[in-house]
Amino acid sequence: MIPPDGQPILTAAAMRAAEQAHGDLSALMDRAGRAVAQAVARLAGPSPVLILCGPGNNGGDGYVAAAALAAAGHAVRLAAVAPPTTDLARAAAARWTGRVETLANAQPAPVLVDALFGTGLSRLLGHAITAPWHRLAAAAQLHVAVDLPSGIASDDGAVLSTPPPAQVTLALAALKPAHLLQPAARYAGTVRLLDLGIAAPSSCHAIAAPTLPEPGPDSHKFTRGMVAVVGGAMAGAGELAALAAMRAGAGYVVHLGDGQGPPHALVRKPWSPAALDDPRIGAVVIGPGLGRDAAAHTRLDAALATDRPLVIDGDALHLLDLDRLADRQAAAILTPHAGEFAALFGKGQGSKIDRTLAAAARARAIVVHKGPDTVIAAPDGRAVVAGDADDWLSTAGSGDVLAGATGATLASGVAALDAAAAAVWLHGRAARRCGRSFIADDLAAALSRVR
Ligand SMILES: NC(=O)C1=CN([C@@H]2O[C@H](COP(=O)(O)OP(=O)(O)OC[C@H]3O[C@@H](n4cnc5c(N)ncnc54)[C@H](O)[C@@H]3O)[C@@H](O)[C@H]2O)[C@@H](O)CC1
Ligand SMILES: [K+]
């Protein structure tokens, strides 16, 4: 049971291609079912298990798992929604010599295993399936999904039919987008990967703890990374971003604009375009509290005209002409939430991952598409997905904190995609450290503890 951090994410088609390339599908199902049995046995302890099997290969995994649990002496029953329809599932079902109960009449068990549908789900689940399944799940103490919670769309995380939430989802061979994308991910509970020994290459991965440069004996404030935050109409938002940049590890942070007060470590200068010419600046953060007036336009213009790496957030995203990015050599990271993303890139097509990749290609920049799930995409087709954001992050200023943290990681010298992913990771972890009803200032402070 491998944690999802850093693991490849595959669409259903890519997963099928990886299975085909492996060749021996029956051996693969055998491995999958046994791995599920082992995981369920560990989770269930001595408690009796009821496995619900669908007609396809997800159900096939369920039959193999049931046979393996029974062979190990575990109390296990099985209920099916329909007879198996694939050769693989039929062969798997033949290995289960126990009784096959109907879903409608099945009695509850303390541990319920959902092997109804996986990556092959193609339509809504009927009431004849959902009603007894919800009844059985409500009576169970532990609900485990095989590969995916049934009823959710593997590739885009849509919920076709609302499943009873699982506490644990056992992803087979690789993660699927729905394990991390909302709204599906909230039904998956804790996701654990079962390694089936097949190569599952992907340019899309789950977020993982970053490797960021550590200060050494020869470090000084400018080698740690210098960040310039462009202030604007709402000075507090820019200052919050500046504070976050300091807490995320930047050695020197300057706020260009109005505003005063602590922290004393923050360097304050009045806005001037010339201030951006300092060659020591490793990243310019623009957008938090910038406003949308003529002055804001001028400041964004000046930032785009520099050769410094940029983090573009908030108001600056509303003023941004994407074509201006095409001529720039230095990296740019855009951090839109859903509304800003739609305004900049339109509705788009496909999953949040597809749409963010298309946006990154269009902008020729790293795009951090924020939300309860955050997708970070690069123009070269790589993507990183962060699931399960802390719900308490829905607080004013949390985006400013992310923008500032991104300035720090970008100024530290790591590649732009890694810098963006690192900041998202630090931000997410900081939120967890803050507990409940925290404010953005607490979040910025917690970045130090996460670093
Ligand atoms: N990833 C891997 O390496 C492996 C995957 N395997 C399993 O194979 C699964 C995919 O199997 P399948 O492609 O057979 O797909 P599923 O088992 O997910 O479902 C397909 C079957 O369900 C029917 N169906 C789809 N939606 C329905 C609905 N709403 N109501 C009623 N029937 C519906 C289809 O007509 C088809 O018969 C994976 O999720 C995984 O569990 C394993 O067996 C082997 C290893
Ligand atoms: K399932």
176 and 92 in a single domain? The answer is yes
Residues 190 and 245 placed together within one structural domain of the fold: no
pLDDT at 412 over 90: yes
pLDDT of residue 23 exceeding 90: no
Residues 289 and 430 in one domain: yes
Do 141 and 238 lie in a common domain?
no
Residue positions in the annotated binding site? 57-61, 114, 118-124, 147, 150, 237, 289, 337, 370-374, 399-400
Kindly tell me the burial class for residue 349, based on how many C-beta atoms sit within 10 Å of its own C-beta (0-12, 13-18, 19 or more).
exposed
Regarding whether 243 and 194 lie in a shared domain, the answer is no
For residue 104, the CA-to-ligand 2 centroid distance in Å is 18
Lowest-confidence region among 80-84, 213-217, 269-273: 213-217
> Where residue 178 sits, what CATH number does that domain have?
3.40.50.10260
Average pLDDT over the chain, rounded to an integer = 95
Asked if 362 and 412 sit in the same domain, the reply is yes
The pair phi, psi for residue 322, each rounded to 5°, is: -55, -30
Average pLDDT over residues 411-439: 96
* Antiparallel, parallel or unpaired: β 383-386 and 374-377: antiparallel
- DSSP bridge partners of 366: 333
User: Which has the closest alpha carbon to 363: 371, 372, 355?
Assistant: 355
The answer to whether residue 207 sits within a structural domain is no
CA 439 centroid distance within chain: 23
Which pLDDT tens digit goes with each residue over 241-263?
999 999 999 999 999 998 777 78
158 lies in which domain range? 12-198
Q: Average pLDDT of 102-130?
A: 95
Tokens describing residue 182: 């909302």
pLDDT digits (tens, 9 = 90+) for 158-171: 999 999 999 999 99
Residue 178 shares a structural domain with residue 326 = no
Same domain, 164 and 256: no
Neighbours of 145 (CB within 10 A): 31
State the number of CA atoms in the 13 A half-sphere of 278 facing the CB. Answer: 19
Looking at residue 286, its pLDDT comes to: 98
For residues 95-112, average pLDDT: 96
CATH number of the domain that 307 lies in? Answer: 3.40.1190.20
Are 401 and 440 within 8 A, CB to CB? yes
Task: Decide if 5 is inside a domain.
Answer: no
| pLDDT tens readout for residues 170-220 | 999 999 999 999 999 999 999 999 999 998 899 999 999 999 999 889 888
Q: How far is CA 200 from CA 10, 14, 298, in A?
A: 7, 8, 48
Whether the per-residue pLDDT at 352 is higher than 90: the answer is yes
CA-nearest of 185, 184, 187, 147 to 165 is: 187
Q: Which atom of ligand 1 is nearest to the CA of 15?
A: 1
Is 206 part of a structural domain of the chain? no
Give the distance (Å) from ligand 2 centre to CA of residue 170.
9
Q: Quote the ligand 1 centre to 162 CA distance (angstroms).
A: 17
CA gap 279, 290 in Å, rounded: 23
User: Do 298 and 371 share a structural domain?
Assistant: yes
173 CB within 6 A, ligand 1: yes
Higher pLDDT, 285 or 390: 285
Asked if residue 79 and residue 37 are part of one domain, the reply reads yes
CB of 28 closer than 6 A to ligand 1? yes
132: CA distance to ligand 1 center in Å? 20
In a domain, 214, yes or no: no
Q: Give the total number of structural domains in the chain.
A: 2
Q: Is residue 351 part of a domain?
A: yes
Binding-site residues for K(+): 58, 114, 150
Separation CA 208–CA 205 (nearest Å) = 9
Co-location of 188 and 236 in the same domain: no
Q: Which atom in ligand 1 lies closest to the alpha carbon of residue 25?
A: 44
Share of the chain above pLDDT 70, in %: 100
Check pocket membership of 112 for ligand 1, CB cut-off 6 A. no
150 and 257 inside one domain: no
Predicted ipTM of the assembly: 0.96
Q: How many CB atoms lie within 10 A of CB 61?
A: 34
* pTM for this predicted structure: 0.95
pLDDT value at 282 more than 90:
yes
